[in-house]
Amino acid sequence: MRIGFIGLGIMGKPMAKNLLKAGYDLTVSSANRAHGELVAAGAKAATNAEIGETCDLVLTMVPNSPQVKAVMLGADGVGAHMKPGSTFIDMSSINPVASREIAAELEKLGVEMLDAPVSGGEPKAIDGTLSFMVGGKQEVFDRFKPVLEAMGSSVVRCGEVGAGNTTKLANQIIVACNIQALAEALTLAQKAGVDPALVFDAIKGGLAGSTVMNAKAPMMMAGNDKPGFKIDLHIKDLNNALDCAHTVGAPVPMTAEVQEILQWMHNHEGGQKDHSAIAQYYEFLTGIEIGR
């Protein structure tokens, strides 16, 4: 099986490396500046059109719905070059409505599709322990689950096409609200004269403990805003969540609130920082630096 990979960014590059480590025949897009590093590791480089023509499975990891549509369905898009019977798996986090639209167009070409967004950020992309939330036909999922397992430790089919991205939106709501609550709580602790590091140590093993807390509390207290997942990308995800919620009539007031805080960060030169930098919003309001 020949696999094509398009989108070698913070997440895509280590994911592609893990496919190579697993022994897959990988072709990466020569349109990406990072392709040289992957070629040095054993991948081939090709144009997007050549990837469509030569690969049995095409993977994308790009920012949002417009980019996926442009790559797959745009002028000279990959989809037009794919052979009937081949498969497309979009690992980007996009609007589930767009996933279903893309799948419908590819179906006309005889191409199957899964939407398979991920959670875990750059650290889990590097060590191959991402969580995949997948939408699509059961038989297609079963066929390509081993490919996803080369990049992740959890691969769960959530329903038909679009279900993967609906699940990812739910995930992103929980992560964003968790980070906001963490920043607020550590700010409270410090303003009340209690060391945030001791608060973190005391509560991380209890009901409030979470993967988010373990990953983000140390970053907040160290003032480390190097992006594992950028604020601008989380804004994109929550915009998709709000759009989806408005379409289906789901109330999401907490999502709207944290989105406004993330947007404030974007407007104050924080869009390229890690989403844990939401703590800096509270630092701006209080004049303190959490844990420092």
Rounded distance between C-alpha atoms, residue 153 and residue 131, angstroms = 6
* Residue 191 annotated to the active site: no
Show the 3-state SS of the chain. Answer: CEEEEECCCCCHHHHHHHHHHCCCEEEEECCCCCHHHHHHCCCEEECHHHHHHHCCEEEECCCCHHHHHHHHHCCCCHHHHCCCCCEEEECCCCCHHHHHHHHHHHHHCCCEEEECCEECHHHHHHHCCEEEEEECCHHHHHHHHHHHHCCEEEEEEEECCCHHHHHHHHHHHHHHHHHHHHHHHHHHHHHCCCCHHHHHHHHCCCCCCCHHHHHHHHHHHHCCCCCCCEHHHHHHHHHHHHHHHHHHCCCCHHHHHHHHHHHHHHHHHHCCCEHHHHHHHHHHHHCCCCCC
Q: Say which of 168, 216, 230, 273 is annotated catalytic.
A: 168
Catalytic residues: 168
